[in-house]
Structure 1
Amino acid sequence: MVTGSTAELPRPQPVFSLICGGFAGCIGKTVTAPLSRLTVLSQTSSLLAGSSTSAASSCGSAAKGGAFADGAIVQGLGRIVRSEGYRGLWKGNVCTLVHRFPFTGVNFAVHEMLKQQMPLSWQRSVLGKFFPGAMAGCVAVIICYPLEVARTRLMTESRLNGRYKTPWACISKLISEGSLYRGMGVSLLVTAPCVSASFGAYDLIKEQMRLLGFEPGSAFVTTVSGGLSGLVGSSLTFPMDTVRRRMQVGGMADVNRTMLQEARSLWQMEGARGFYRGISPEMMKVFPCVALTFWVFEVLRSRGTKVF
């Protein structure tokens, strides 16, 4: 449990923030991995429903848009377990962790570094609270994007007919397809505002809770602020995130569309509802995932700062 105000602690070096953020992101993602996979399967179900290698078709087409199109949480998790066993709930998590450690670490490191370099007046402004997160999200996406594409593909393929034996085989296939950076433009459009909203909302909520009399560095304030900030970021960007996921797996369905083409196709096939497929497991996942990530980061940062 973090005690005392984290504002009283000296700011750690960026490398230390990267390490703390990396571990925090891995823990948060691992705990909520089953819901993450269900979200991705729901988002891509209608696109991959006819693919022999996708989990969307291997579980049977329960709806017009594929087995996971309804986004039902209990039924969806049950389909995965019946088809792939309990290990299927964490399918792609190894690649997720390989991606998440540098991705979350870079986010926290760049965010902390920019906050240190910003003038005090800029830090106190509302815009100033959101700017470091936006920049951090852009840097992290550019550095880690190929692993993000590999993770998405591993999470959407089926166990019985999967084409990728390992994350490295998946990356090799992406290179041969020329798909290593498929959808990176839309990923920047999703991640930058999402990370910006999460970090900005986190600081604002913590400040409001402090004014209400809560201890700024307490575990309660950290987890509540982190969880609510995650909900803010994900809810604002979920429609674009759906487009991004569909672009990332397009090669599995022999589809190669631009961001606008994919969005238009989704609208024509499913209407506005299609952009929100998977919103239920996403909202259930994001609060504990982001809350745990911020809490673990604050714990590691505070203890490490005191030691070093």
Structure 2
Amino acid sequence: MSAQSGDRLKDEGTRLQVTAAGATAGVVSRFVIAPLDVVKIRLQLQTHSLSDPLSTRNLHGSPVYKGTLPTLLSIFRSEGITGLWKGNLPAELLYLCYFAVQFTAYRQTTLLLHSTFGESTLPPSVESFISGAVAGGTGTAATYPLDLLRTRFAAQGNDRVYNGFLPAIKQIHNQEGYKGFFRGLAPALGQIIPFMGTFFTVYEVLRPKLSKLELPYSSGGALAGTIASVTAKTITFPLDLVRKRIQVQGPTRGRYIHKNIPEYTHGTFGTIKQILGREGIRGLYRGLTVSLLKAAPASAVTMWTYERALKFYGSLGEKTVKGI
């Protein structure tokens, strides 16, 4: 591995160890930030706000959320503690599979670049961007149906649209066909590739420098992951919002907690244009604050868990070898 990159993500380890460490990091991270994820989705799907004139509101019984903590409390009061973990089963499966695919693809792409161009030919930032973009796109495409299910469950209020994980799969297949599981894939890929490319680039640049600092409550890797995630999330957030809006299209569009979600039928750019026309530029950034609040603990927990899980699985491998 390149000595210049200071690359902790590409530490020595078998493919199985890298995959297991990535999956472990995803599961732990998802459980910790699940309530903030539900809040983010609810805000992203909301097309109205308290600042809108009463004459322009068309709520159809939809709640009006404003701010992260008030939304959190509103969901808790109206739907109970379980409301904050809606969609957690498909989300856990999503994170389990996504991070396993992502970290594995990142490592394999890096090895391919090394074998193709040489280990120290490409600048570390370029290498990280390419590997991160390929890893993000591969993970997103491979696990997208789970992402759609997570969004739809999180968008449900007390009136259920789906009665469970397997019934939801059957219902979507019967009503929308296989294409229904991939609604919003285009903006998802358009968002994740620059997101992961930016994330890994910033992370790889900052981690070696921050690791030298003596931080009281955080490792250098965790802090670098937080900064990288916040930067990447802010840049690509509008596409993430568009993805969520498109994911809840279809025959069940009017049955979620927000019953006034518009119909978007003109693809990614048409949806962006429609949101700008109806809600202005702020419409593309609904939920950004909670998204950034979520990004910090999620990335910190992910990178911290990944590094330690990789060491743990590596130590198990060493013990196994010694015991043979």
TM-score by shorter chain over 0.5: yes
Tell me the equivalent position of 1:269: 278
Distance 2:235 2:299 in 1: 15
Pairwise CA distance, 1:280: 1.1
Deviation track 1:54-86 (CA, whole Å, cap 9, x = no partner) reads xxx79x54xxxx522x3x011101110111001
Tell me the equivalent position of 2:64: 67
Distance 1:10 1:134 in 2: 19
User: Quick check: 2:17–2:314 contact (8 Å CA) kept in 1?
Assistant: no
Tell me the equivalent position of 1:32: 33
Per the alignment, in what secondary structure is the counterpart of residue 298 of structure 2?
helix
User: Quick check: 2:9–2:307 contact (8 Å CA) kept in 1?
Assistant: no
Pairwise CA distance, 1:291: 0.7
Q: Equivalences for 1:148-187 in 2 at 5 Å?
A: 148-159=147-158, 161-176=159-174, 177-178=176-177, 179-187=180-188
Pairwise CA distance, 1:138: 1.1
Give the stretch that moved more between structures: 118-127 or 147-156.
118-127
Aligned counterpart in structure 2 of residue 293 of structure 1, from 302, 306, 309 = 302
Pairwise CA distance, 1:32: 0.8
User: Quick check: 1:152–1:249 contact (8 Å CA) kept in 2?
Assistant: yes
User: Quick check: 2:225–2:300 contact (8 Å CA) kept in 1?
Assistant: yes
Give the stretch that moved more between structures: 284-293 or 178-187.
178-187
Pairwise CA distance, 1:6: 7.2
The alignment covers a number of residue pairs equal to 285
Tell me the equivalent position of 2:109: 114
Deviation track 1:227-266 (CA, whole Å, cap 9, x = no partner) reads 1111122111101100010000112326352212211111
User: Quick check: 1:92–1:154 contact (8 Å CA) kept in 2?
Assistant: yes
Pairwise CA distance, 1:10: 5.2
Deviation track 1:154-195 (CA, whole Å, cap 9, x = no partner) reads 000112x11111122222222221311111111100111112
Q: Equivalences for 1:60-209 in 2 at 5 Å?
A: 61=62, 67-68=64-65, 70=66, 72-117=67-112, 118=114, 119-122=118-121, 124-159=123-158, 161-176=159-174, 177-178=176-177, 179-209=180-210
Pairwise CA distance, 1:7: 5.2
Distance 1:99 1:171 in 2: 14
Distance 1:106 1:191 in 2: 14
User: Quick check: 1:190–1:240 contact (8 Å CA) kept in 2?
Assistant: yes
C-alpha distance 9-286 of structure 1, shift in aligned 2 (>3 A): closer
Pairwise CA distance, 1:208: 2.5
- After TM superposition, the score normalised by the length of structure 1 is 0.86
C-alpha distance 67-7 of structure 1, shift in aligned 2 (>3 A): closer
What amino acid maps onto 2:85 in structure 1? W
Tell me the equivalent position of 1:253: 253
Distance 2:239 2:314 in 1: 38
- CA RMSD, Structure 1 to Structure 2 (Å): 2.5
C-alpha distance 107-122 of structure 1, shift in aligned 2 (>3 A): farther
Tell me the equivalent position of 2:52: none
C-alpha distance 83-9 of structure 1, shift in aligned 2 (>3 A): closer
Per the alignment, in what secondary structure is the counterpart of residue 46 of structure 1?
coil
Pairwise CA distance, 1:203: 1.1
In structure 1, list runs of 5 or more residues that go unmatched: 48-56
What amino acid maps onto 1:155 in structure 2? A
In structure 2, list runs of 5 or more residues that go unmatched: 1-5, 49-58, 255-262, 318-324
What amino acid maps onto 2:276 in structure 1? W
User: Quick check: 2:35–2:72 contact (8 Å CA) kept in 1?
Assistant: yes
Tell me the equivalent position of 2:243: 244
Larger Rg over CA atoms: 2
C-alpha distance 232-189 of structure 1, shift in aligned 2 (>3 A): same
- After TM superposition, the score normalised by the length of structure 2 is 0.81
Distance 1:134 1:128 in 2: 10
Tell me the equivalent position of 2:320: none
Per the alignment, in what secondary structure is the counterpart of residue 64 of structure 2?
coil
User: Quick check: 2:10–2:107 contact (8 Å CA) kept in 1?
Assistant: no
Q: Report % sequence identity.
A: 25
Per the alignment, in what secondary structure is the counterpart of residue 250 of structure 1?
coil
Distance 2:219 2:156 in 1: 38
